[in-house]
């Protein structure tokens, strides 16, 4: 059972990392859209982009100007958290190209795997959820994400290659659980880009559901071309295509994780907040 169900009863911050060593399996898409869905459900959410590709920061509309602090400054210096506001209650810490050097810089630091965890102690109490987008591969930054998290979700495609490298990923997670963060839970595999018409999707999803090493989340994210299009306008699916399968699926995932039910106006909330932002920008 996802540990997030505790959410209904008590006020506790839940920090979730989205990790898979594989590239292109919708880690970033899931962070941006699930975070927005949680915000639509009334949760206060902080998103952290730890990937030097900065894809998530781009979706959220961040374009770094000189002097704008980002995650790497926060990890290296005793500076305030570089938190930016997307909507009221939906905030983010952006990545930057400087993260490229972070790996080497962290290698010389003492307790290098727990820097993010210690930094997050300062701010996490402000939020119901902290959602961390990880880069593909194995890295000290990803160890930092796992060390700081209560849970990890593993987005997984339903292809013949999905299982390749999975044992290494689980090993890395278990190592962090044993050596650094015994609170870390694997909330589950999240099956993404699911196409029920294909035989391989059915076979792979059956495999994930049958294995008992790691739970598989009930919600599947169906294939939806709108996910390719929405980032261009710095939008998630909830601003770009709230009537799409994609919006339905991420809202369903947020409901599964929180145990909450969506509000009646769920399709309008993000669009309305986006319009308000635009009106404010025009005024200034
Ligand atoms: N449900 C979906 N249906 C169709 N395409 C999708 C879906 N989810 C994500 N995509 C597309 O898959 C591609 C990879 O997604 P994304 O960037 O989120 O993956 P990632 O795991 O973060 O990649 P990376 O490892 O490079 O960080 C993108 O082009 C995205 O639009
Ligand atoms: Mg990504």
What pLDDT score was predicted for residue 161?
Answer: 85
pLDDT value for 8? 47
Task: Give the ligand whose atoms come closest to the C-alpha of residue 230.
Answer: 1
Burial class (CB in 10 A: 0-12, 13-18, 19+), 278: exposed
DSSP state at residue 87:
E
pLDDT score, position 284: 84
Residues with CB under 6 A from ligand 1: 23-29, 51, 53, 55, 135-136, 192-193, 221, 223-224, 227-228, 246
Q: Give a yes or no: residue 43 inside a domain.
A: yes
Let me know if residue 280 belongs to a domain: no
pTM of the model: 0.95
Given CA atoms 271, 276, 279, 284 in this order, what sign does their dihedral have?
A: negative
Give the range of the structural domain holding residue 233, as residue numbers without chain letter.
11-269
Atom in ligand 1 nearest the alpha carbon of residue 194: 1
Pocket test of ligand 1: the residue of 227, 233, 251 to mutate, having most ligand atoms within 8 Å of its CB, is: 227
Whether residue 22 contacts residue 136, with contact meaning beta carbons closer than 8 Å, is answered with: yes
DSSP-H helix ranges across the chain: 27-40, 55-59, 71-76, 102-107, 115-123, 140-148, 166-179, 199-210, 226-229, 237-240, 245-258, 266-283
CATH of the domain at 115: 3.40.50.300
Q: How many angstroms is it from 189 CA to the middle of ligand 1? A: 16
pLDDT attached to residue 11: 65
Q: Are 69 and 95 in contact (CB under 8 A)?
A: no
Q: Is residue 283 part of a domain?
A: no
The residues, ordered by sequence, that sit 6+ positions from 261 with a Cβ below 8 Å of its Cβ are 255
Helices (H) and strands (E) in the chain, counts: 12, 7
Question: Is residue 207 in a domain?
Answer: yes
pLDDT at 146: 98
- Chain-centroid distance of CA 115 in Å reads 19
| Total count of domains within the chain | 1
Q: Say how far apart CA 142 and CA 136 lie, in whole Å.
A: 9
Please report which ligand is nearest the Cα atom of 192: 1
**Cα 180 from chain centre:** 21
Collect the ranges in the chain with pLDDT lower than 70. Answer: 1-11
Atom number of ligand 1 nearest to Cα 231? 31
Query: Which ligand minimizes its atom distance to the CA of 157?
Result: 1
Residue 146 lies in a domain: yes
| Ligand 1 atom 7 nearest Cα | 193
pLDDT at 1: 46
**Tokens 């699930």 -> residue:** 34
Is residue 255 included in any domain, yes or no?
Answer: yes
**Which of 26, 197, 229, 235 to mutate to test ligand 1, by most ligand atoms within 8 A of the CB atom?**
26
Q: Quick one: which atom of ligand 1 is closest to the CA of 225? A: 4
Residue 277 lies in a domain: no
Residue 149 lies in a domain: yes
pLDDT at 164: 86
Cα-to-centroid distance, 40 and ligand 1 (Å): 22
Contact 227, 237 (CB under 8 A): yes
């Amino acid at each position: 059972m996802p540990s997030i169900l505790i959410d209904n009863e008590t006020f506790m911050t839940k920090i979730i990392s989205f990790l898979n060593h594989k590239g292109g399996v919708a880690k970033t898409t899931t962070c941006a859209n699930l975070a927005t869905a949680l915000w639509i459900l009334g949760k206060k959410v902080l998103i952290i982009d730890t990937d030097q590709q900065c894809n998530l920061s781009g979706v959220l509309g961040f374009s770094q100007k000189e002097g704008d602090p980002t995650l790497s400054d926060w990890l290296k210096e005793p500076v305030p958290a570089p938190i930016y506001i997307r909507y009221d209650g939906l905030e983010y810490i952006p990545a930057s190209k400087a993260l490229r050097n972070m790996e080497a810089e962290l290698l010389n630091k003492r307790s290098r795997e727990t820097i993010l965890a210690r930094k997050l102690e300062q701010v996490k109490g402000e939020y119901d959820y902290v959602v961390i987008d990880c880069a593909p591969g194995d890295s000290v930054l990803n160890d930092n994400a796992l060390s700081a998290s209560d849970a990890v979700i593993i987005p997984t495609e339903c292809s013949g290659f999905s299982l390749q490298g999975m044992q290494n990923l689980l090993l890395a997670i278990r190592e962090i659980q044993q050596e650094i963060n015994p609170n870390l839970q694997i909330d589950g595999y999240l099956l993404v880009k699911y196409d029920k018409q294909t035989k391989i999707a059915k076979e792979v999803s059956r495999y994930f559901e049958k294995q008992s090493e790691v739970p598989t989340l009930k919600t599947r994210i169906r294939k939806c071309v709108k996910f390719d299009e929405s980032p261009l306008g710095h939008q998630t699916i909830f601003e770009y295509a709230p009537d799409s399968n994609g919006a339905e699926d991420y809202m369903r995932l947020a409901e599964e994780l929180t145990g909450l039910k969506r509000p009646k106006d769920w399709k309008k909330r993000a669009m309305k907040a986006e319009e308000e932002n635009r009106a404010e920008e025009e005024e200034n």
